[in-house]
Amino acid sequence: MQLSNKNPATRLNEAVDRVRRQESRAVKTAGDKTLIGSRYAWLRNPENMSDKQRADFDQLMTCELQTGTAWSLKNMFRAFWVLTSRDAAEYFFQYWSDAVDRSELKPIIKVKI
């Protein structure tokens, strides 16, 4: 196994984008254009979104997309950085890791490993 020298947030953003690209190709063949033009919406932090961007993003999140699940897991991991004890960090990481496994999203699972 080779460890990445990229920071976890960067790796998670890249994984979310891989999920989005895979899903976009899959739904586009069925004529669904939901994900077209949405790349940067998934990469922004919610607190950096304008009101219009947030409204558009909230609309995307109602579509039950795999990309939405990937984004939620990425966003959930942000809580890891504010934990102050090793025990809390280990508990959180196990909880997050289990959620990642249940998602079955290979690009996100690869980040965990």
Domain boundaries, the chain: 8-112
pLDDT per residue rounded down to tens, the chain (113 residues): 445 567 888 999 999 999 999 999 998 888 888 898 899 999 888 899 999 999 999 999 999 999 999 999 999 999 999 999 999 999 999 999 999 999 999 999 999 87
For residue 76, give the nearest of 97, 51, 58, 57 by alpha carbon.
Answer: 97
- What is the pLDDT at residue 5? 60
Residue 53 neighbours by CB distance under 10 Å: 14
**pTM for this entry:** 0.87
Angle at 6 between CA 98 and CA 11, to 5 degrees: 45
